[in-house]
Each structure stands twice: as C-alpha cells, then as structure tokens.
Amino acid sequence: MLFGNELVPALKMEDYYVWCGSVIRGEDGRYHMFASRWKREHTFHPGWMTHSEVVRAVADSPMGPFEFQEVVLPARGPEYWDGCATHCPQIVKRGNQYLLFYIGTSFTIPIRDDNRQDVATVARSTKKIGMAVADSVFGPWKRSDKPVLTTKPGTYYSYLVSNPAPVIEPDGSIYMLFKTRKYIGKDLSPFYVGAARAKSPDDPFEVITPEPLFGAGAPNGEVEDPFVWIGKDGLYHMVAKDMRGEVGGSEADGVELVSKDGLDWKFKQVAYTRGGHSLRERPFILFDDNGDPLVLYTATADGFPYSDPSAQTWNAACRF
C-alpha cells in the first residue's frame, strides 16, 4: 500500500463543510492549501454545488494545521459561468506561474428545502472547468472569462465536466483527466473519466479520448477523483477512488494506476483504505523537492454527510 491510514486533521473549520484540499509550497516557503468550503446551513448536498467557495489556508508544516487566510474564488453572480459556486480546486505550478484549476456553477432557480433534487440536477448540469492564473501564491488571481473545458452535444461529456486533475508534462503542455456524464435521451449516464490536453495555459484544451477511459462499460472500471503525476520513471501515475471495487477489489478505497501515455491505464496497487472513515475522497499528493511523495491529503468525514447533516468533514493529511 502506498500510504497508511494514520490521518491528521489538516484543515477543519467550525460552521463549514470543508472538502477538496490541494497543497503547494509557496514562494514564502510555507505550505498553502486551496480547498472548498461552504456553510453547514446549506447542507452538504447540494450545498457543494450551490454555495461552495475556493479558499486558501496556510501552514508551516505540510501536515498542518492549516489556518484560513482568504476566499480566493468567491461567488460573483449568475451572469458569470462560475458565478454561483466554485469547487474542487487543483493547484499546479508551470514555470513561475501558478495555475488553479476548479469547477464552477451558475444558475437562477430558487434555492428551497423542498426542491433540493431539482436544484442538484440543474446546478450539476452547469458544471464546467475553469482556470485562474497568478504569478504568486498570494494572487491576484485572474479567472478565466470562459470555461477551459466545457460540454459537447453528442459525446460522453454532454451533461457536465468536473473534477479536473491536471499535470504539467515535460514539454510544458497540460494533461488533464476530468469527470463527466452524458445525456441518454431524457436520462443521464453513470459517471465517466476522460482526458484532455492543452499546449499551454493560453491554448484551448482538446479532449483526446473519443471514448471514456473509466466508467460503466469502460475497460478499466469506474473511478472518481483522480489525481495525476508523472513519476521519476517517466510514467503517468494516478491515485483515484475505486467507486465499486472493480479496480482494486475494495469499494471506495484509493487505488494507484500507471500508464505510458495517459490513455492505457493499468492497476498497480491499493494506495490507501478508508481506515474506518465513511468517506475518503479527493486524493491529492504533495511531493518533496526530489519528486518523492511526501503527504497524501484526502477529504474525510466521520459520517455520511450526504444524508447526515451532523457529519463533520475536513481535509486530512497522511505521511508517506
């Protein structure tokens, strides 16, 4: 197993759900976590799609505890593609530039307790992937005027695109896995994972997989929340949540897969287990200066927050 299950709470906020931790060492030498949070009064689901905001927290140690610093990507109104909620940040550095990938939603339907499923369906359908750029981990962040990856009719990504997992390739291009679903008549497909690539932050992302890499009916089984890196061996590596246990044999544990080209993935090992927690999602690995894995961060819960409003959520850290 790549990582153990000795979890330390890295970022937890009173009165907020916390999810989606992505960490980078800043130019100040400290560790900066970009995470999602939203007030508990909005419920875990669909609150993450309707009221989430991306924040930055900081710590002297990669294990935390991280202290809240600022809201990085606040709501800015439904006239913007990401104007109602920002979520699922993934921070990478390309040269001297920080790239913050995230998902945004935008909608105008009323938010009421009696139409949560309608809200979830509509809000989810507006999910797109964007990118904010800065020369410093402290910002200012320039948000993309348009999504960098959006849906396309008649494809396996016609309903939504979500959960970006970018990595900078040796030639400076950006390879990105993403989560998606498609319309099937008036119904919706299960979740899939596809791949896209852009030559640079200024170039458009193009989907490079005509069929999904993962998902129901795909050759590799169903996974969620992939995190991708290029190892010292030159191979693409992925850690992801094994949704149904089809990959590593245990439902909802983390699995590591490897690929020569980012397209043909093979199971390598179980990366981590839930370790007695109801959820461990959104894995993110921080590497040291030698390119070795240092800390695994996962969004963690002590109950099932989708149905239990009292469940606590936080971003946890686990040393390699």
- pTM confidence score: 0.95
Q: What is the DSSP string of 159-223?
A: SEEEEEEEEE-TTS-EEEEEEEE-EETTEE---EEEEEEESSTTSPPEE--SS-SEETTSTT--E
Paired tokens of 2: 């790549």
Contact 68, 13 (CB under 8 A): yes
Question: Which residue(s) pair with 167 in the sheet?
Answer: 175
What mean pLDDT value characterizes the chain?
Answer: 93
Segment 127-143, tens digit of pLDDT: 999 999 999 999 999 99
A 10 A CB-CB count for 48 gives: 25
Average pLDDT on 143-152 reads 96
Least trusted range by pLDDT, from 1-10, 87-96, 115-124, 280-289? 115-124
How big is the CA angle at 130 (ends 284 and 158), to the nearest 5 degrees? Answer: 100
pLDDT of 110 > 70? The answer is: no
* The pair of three-digit structure tokens given for residue 301, joined into one six-digit string: 């819960």
Paired with 265 in beta bridges are 259
Q: What is the pLDDT of residue 14?
A: 93
Domains of the chain: 8-319 (2.115.10.20)
Cα separation, 47 vs 195, in Å, equals 27
Q: How far apart are CA 241 and CA 224, in angstroms?
A: 5
Q: What is the pLDDT of residue 29?
A: 97
What is the pLDDT averaged over residues 1-15? 87
Could you say which DSSP state residue 82 is in? Answer: T
User: Which range is least confidently modeled, 8-12, 122-126, 149-153?
Assistant: 122-126
Let me know: does 128 contact 104? Beta carbons within 8 Å: yes
In the predicted structure, residue 221 carries a pLDDT above the cut 70: yes
pLDDT (tens digit, 9 = 90+) per residue, 291-317? 999 999 999 999 999 999 889 999 999
Q: What is the pLDDT of residues 153-204, one digit of tens each?
A: 999 999 999 999 999 999 999 999 999 999 999 899 999 999 999 999 999 9
Q: What is the pLDDT at residue 112? A: 57
Q: What is the mean pLDDT of residues 232-243?
A: 96
The dihedral sign for the CA sequence 274, 278, 281, 284: negative
Nearest to 262 by CA among 217, 231, 222: 231
Does residue 56 contact residue 73 with C-beta atoms inside 8 Å? no
CA-CA distance, 18 to 298, in Å (whole number)? 11
Q: Do residues 144 and 129 lie in contact, with contact meaning Cβ atoms separated by under 8 Å? A: no
What is the pLDDT, as a whole number, of residue 278? 80
pLDDT tens, position by position, 38-66 = 999 999 999 999 999 999 999 999 999 99
pLDDT over threshold 70, residue 80:
yes
> For residues 101 and 165, what is the distance between their CA atoms, to the nearest angstrom?
8
To which H or E segment does residue 50 belong? helix 47-50
- The mean-pLDDT minimum among 8-17, 92-101, 121-130 falls in 121-130
